[in-house]
Chains A and B, each alone.
Chain A
Amino acid sequence: MDKGFSPVGLRVLVVDDDPTWLKILEKMLKKCSYEVTTCGLAREALRLLRERKDGFDIVISDVNMPDMDGFKLLEHVGLELDLPVIMMSVDGETKRVMKGVQHGACDYLLKPIRMKELKIIWQHVLRKKLQEVRDIEGCYEVGADWFTRNDEAHYLGGGEDVSFGKKRKDFEFEKKLLQDESDPSSSSKKARVVWSFELHQKFVNAVNQIGCDHKAGPKKILDLMNVPWLTRENVASHLQKYRLYLSRLEKGKELKCYSGGVRNMDSPPKDAEFSSGHQSPGKSSYVYSGGSSLVHKAETDPKQLASSSVSDPSSDVHMPPKGKKKRIEFEPPISSSVFDSLLPWSDVPDPLESKPQILFESSFLQQQPLLPSQSPYVVASAPTLMEQEMKPSYETCVNADEFLMPQNKNSTVINQDVSLSTPSAISCMKLQESSSNVNNDTESILRSLNWELPESHHSGFIDTDLDFSWLHGEHLLANTGLQNFQFQDYSSSSSLLSELPPHLWFGNDRLPEPDEYTLMVDHGLFIS
C-alpha cells in the first residue's frame, strides 16, 4: 500500500460517539500497527487518560459528542496531559477548524478519514517530543545569539562552526540532553514548568528591573523573581521565548501596513477576535506577499496562494523564515503541546518565529535563484485552510500583555509556510557537515522514543533524506512525507509540514488538506 514508516505500537485513544466510525477507525489504526483503545464517550476517555497517565501517545477525537464537546475534551487533554490531540469531523467548516486550532488540536481530519491520514499521525507525537527536547537551555543560548547579533552571515554559512544555524556546542548539548531523555534515571530530566500569568508577570518584572532584556541573564532574573522551585534553566528557556516574542512584536509593527488588504478581502466573521492592530510579523508579510492575487486565491486555490506568495520575492522581503530555522535545529515550530498545559486555547506565537525571520530576509534575498525550486515546496505550505481560515490570525494582536495569551496561534501556522521556503535557502547555505550531526540526533530522538526505525526507507530515510532535505531544495519536495495529508485543490507535491524536518515525514503522495495542515500548527506555546 504505502511505503510510509509508522511506528509499531503507537498507543492511540480514539474517542467517537458514532459506533460505526469507532469500529472503522479501530480497524484502520490496527492496520497501521498501532495499539488502539476505543471510547464512545468523552468522559470515559478522560477517565481512561487520567487513569493511565502515560498510557497513550496520542488522542483522536470527534468534535461532536453528546456528553462533552470535543473541544472541551481537547482542552482537558492538552491542559492536564499534554498529549497531541487530533480532531475529527464530517464538518470542515472554517469556524470549526479554527476552533480546533485555537483549542490546541494538532490536526483536524475530515470524515471520511483515509488510511493515509492515520498512517502519519505518529509525526505529531514525534514533533511534540522534539519540542520537549528543544525546550532546553541550549536553545536559549543559541536564540540569544541570534537575537542580539542578528547576524545573517552567521547563518549563511559564514562560520565553519555553524551547524544548521546552531553552534556546534549547542548540538553537543542537545545530544547530551537527548541521551539523558532516553535514560529514565537521568536527573537532568526536568519537570515541565507551567508559566502561569502570575509567574510570567514576576518574570517580566524581573526583566524590566534589570533593564535591557538583552543583558538580562537567567540567573539574575531567577534571583529577582524569588520563586524557590524555579530553576535557572526554566527561566532561561522562558527568556528565550520571551525575547523572540518581543522581537516579533517589533517586526510586527513594521509590517503593520500590509495587513489591511487581505483582511478586508477575506475575513471570516471571527476576524474581530483577532484583529487588534498589531501584526504578527511573519504572518502578515507572508500572506500579503503576492498582493491581491493571494487573497483571491485564498478561497479556492491554496496552492496558488502559496506559490504566489512565495514566488514573489520582491514582496517577500519580510517573509518569516522562522519555521525552517527551527527545523534545522530539530525544533519544529509546532509546539502545541507546550502551551496547552498553560492554556488550552493558547496560541502564543511560536517563540522561534522571529529568529529565522531575521535570518531569512538576507538569505532569502540572496537565495532568490532557489526560489523556483522552492516554490513547489512552499506551495504545499500554504494550505487553503490557512489562508482562508487563518487569515484572522494575521491580525492577531501581539501585545506584551498577551505574551501568554492565546493570540497568535495562527501566526505559527502561517509561519510554517514560510518555513518551508527557508530550508531550501538555508540548506543550500548550510554546511554539509551539519547533516551528519542532524542525522545522529534524529536517530537518537527516534531511538529514545523506542520506535522502530525504518530499516530501509524508500529513500534511505534518515541519512539520505536528511542530506536531501537539508541540502537540496527540490528534494524537499520529493522526500517529504507530507503527501500523506489530504489537501484540497492540491496537486503539487509540496510539504506542508514545515515544522518537522522533511525526512521525518513519510507517506504517500498526497498533500495535506488545508484544514488538516493548518492544524499541524505550531501553537507557539510558552512553557519551560
Chain B
Amino acid sequence: MQRQVALIKQSLFDQGYLDEQFMELEELQDDANPNFVEEVATLYFKDSARLINNIDQALERGSFDFNRLDSYMHQFKGSSTSIGASKVKTECTMFREYCRAGNAEGCLRTFKQLKKEHATLRKKLEQYFQASKR
C-alpha cells in the first residue's frame, strides 16, 4: 500500500498537478496534526467550490464585468496556491489574462478548462488520501 501511495503522489507531481507547496504542507504535518494535509485539501476544495460557483454565476449573467471576474479569480488563484494546485493555478493566470484583455470568449473557455483541472485534482487527491489511510 505504501508503495502505491508513493506512486500516486509521484505521478501527481510528475504530471504537474501539484507543486512544491504540497510538499511543504506535508512537512507541516506532525503528531499534533497527523491529518494536516488532508484537512487542508478538504478545506481548499470546499472553499474553492464556493469561489467557482461565484464565478459561474458571474459568467452566466453574461455581463462580463472583467474587473469583478478578475477579482474573483485572484481570490481563487490565491487559494489554489495554498495546496500547490499547479495546473489549476495556470488556468487561473490565463483567465486573468483574458480578463485584462477583455476577452469574454477566452474567459469562458479557460474557466471550463479550469473546472476540469480542479475536478481532476480533487479526484486524484481523494484517491491519494484514501490510499494513504489503508
Q: How far, in angstroms, from A31 to B84 measured CA to CA in the complex?
A: 20
With contacts A20-B82, A90-B81, A112-B21 taken as known, whether A28 is within 8 angstroms of B40 at the C-beta atoms is no
For residue A114, which residues in chain B have a CB less than 8 angstroms away from its CB?
A: 24
Interface size on A, residues (CB 8 A): 19
Q: Is the CB of A27 within 8 A of B47?
A: no
What residue in chain A is nearest B48 (Cβ atoms)? A20
Q: What 1/0 flags go to B96-128 for Cβ under 8 Å of A?
A: 000000000000000000000000000000000
At the interface with chain A, which of B8-16, B57-65, B71-79? B71-79
Q: How far, in angstroms, from A91 to B81 measured CA to CA in the complex?
A: 11
What residue in chain A is nearest B96 (Cβ atoms)? A91
Q: Is the CB of B47 within 8 A of A18?
A: yes
Q: What 1/0 flags go to A20-37 for Cβ under 8 Å of B?
A: 110110011001000000
Q: Is the CB of B28 within 8 A of A21?
A: no
Q: Is the CB of A19 within 8 A of B47?
A: yes
Which of A23, A64, A89, A115 is within 8 Å of B40, CB to CB? A23
B43 at the interface (CB under 8 A from A): yes
A111 at the interface (CB under 8 A from B): yes
Q: Is the CB of B28 within 8 A of A112?
A: no
For residue B27, which residues in chain A have a CB less than 8 angstroms away from its CB?
A: 115
Q: Interface size class for chain B? A: 20 to 34
Q: Is the CB of A90 within 8 A of B28?
A: no
* Nearest CB of chain B from residue A66's CB, rounded to whole Å: 9
Q: How far, in angstroms, from A91 to B76 measured CA to CA in the complex?
A: 12
Q: Is the CB of A112 within 8 A of B74?
A: no
With contacts A27-B28, A89-B78, A90-B74 taken as known, whether A112 is within 8 angstroms of B47 at the C-beta atoms is no
Q: How far, in angstroms, from A89 to B71 measured CA to CA in the complex?
A: 13
B36 at the interface (CB under 8 A from A): yes
Q: Is the CB of B75 within 8 A of A64?
A: yes
For residue B81, which residues in chain A have a CB less than 8 angstroms away from its CB?
A: 90, 111-112
Q: Is the CB of B78 within 8 A of A19?
A: no
Which of B28, B30, B71, B79 is within 8 Å of A20, CB to CB? B79
Q: Is the CB of A31 within 8 A of B28?
A: yes
Q: Which residues in chain A, 51-75, are within 8 Å of chain B measured between CB atoms?
A: 62, 64
Q: What 1/0 flags go to B34-62 for Cβ under 8 Å of A?
A: 00100110011001000000000000000
B94 at the interface (CB under 8 A from A): no
Q: Is the CB of A24 within 8 A of B75?
A: no
What residue in chain B is nearest A90 (Cβ atoms)? B78
* Nearest CB of chain B from residue A314's CB, rounded to whole Å: 43
For residue B43, which residues in chain A have a CB less than 8 angstroms away from its CB?
A: 19-20, 23
For residue B2, which residues in chain A have a CB less than 8 angstroms away from its CB?
A: none
Q: Which residues in chain A, 1-53, are within 8 Å of chain B measured between CB atoms?
A: 17-21, 23-24, 27-28, 31
With contacts A19-B47, A112-B21, A115-B24 taken as known, whether A24 is within 8 angstroms of B74 at the C-beta atoms is no
For residue B44, which residues in chain A have a CB less than 8 angstroms away from its CB?
A: 20
With contacts A20-B44, A23-B40, A28-B28 taken as known, whether A111 is within 8 angstroms of B82 at the C-beta atoms is yes
For residue B77, which residues in chain A have a CB less than 8 angstroms away from its CB?
A: 90
* Nearest CB of chain B from residue A129's CB, rounded to whole Å: 29
Q: Is the CB of A112 within 8 A of B33?
A: no
Q: How far, in angstroms, from A90 to B93 measured CA to CA in the complex?
A: 11
Q: How far, in angstroms, from A24 to B80 measured CA to CA in the complex?
A: 12
With contacts A18-B47, A112-B84 taken as known, whether A24 is within 8 angstroms of B78 at the C-beta atoms is no
Which of B39, B74, B82, B84 is within 8 Å of A21, CB to CB? B82
With contacts A24-B40, A27-B36 taken as known, whether A18 is within 8 angstroms of B24 at the C-beta atoms is no
* Nearest CB of chain B from residue A14's CB, rounded to whole Å: 13
* Nearest CB of chain B from residue A58's CB, rounded to whole Å: 20
Q: Is the CB of B83 within 8 A of A20?
A: yes
B25 at the interface (CB under 8 A from A): yes
For residue A90, which residues in chain B have a CB less than 8 angstroms away from its CB?
A: 74, 77-78, 81
Q: Is the CB of A64 within 8 A of B78?
A: yes
For residue A18, which residues in chain B have a CB less than 8 angstroms away from its CB?
A: 47, 75, 78-79, 82
Q: Is the CB of A20 within 8 A of B40?
A: yes
Most buried by A among B30, B33, B82, B84: B82
What residue in chain B is nearest A114 (Cβ atoms)? B24
Q: How far, in angstroms, from A60 to B30 measured CA to CA in the complex?
A: 24
Most buried by B among A17, A27, A64, A115: A27
For residue B82, which residues in chain A have a CB less than 8 angstroms away from its CB?
A: 18, 20-21, 24, 111-112
For residue B75, which residues in chain A have a CB less than 8 angstroms away from its CB?
A: 17-18, 64
- 6 closest Cβ contacts across the A-B interface? A90-B78, A20-B82, A112-B21, A20-B44, A112-B81, A20-B43
B binding-site residues for A, Cβ under 8 Å = 21, 24-25, 27-28, 30, 33, 36, 39-40, 43-44, 47, 71, 74-75, 77-79, 81-84
27 pairs of residues in contact across A and B, judged by CB atoms under 8 Å: A17-B75, A18-B47, A18-B79, A18-B82, A19-B47, A20-B47, A20-B79, A20-B82, A20-B83, A21-B78, A21-B79, A23-B40, A23-B43, A24-B25, A27-B28, A28-B28, A62-B78, A64-B71, A64-B74, A90-B77, A90-B78, A111-B78, A111-B81, A112-B21, A112-B82, A112-B84, A114-B24
A binding-site residues for B, Cβ under 8 Å = 17-21, 23-24, 27-28, 31, 62, 64, 89-91, 111-112, 114-115
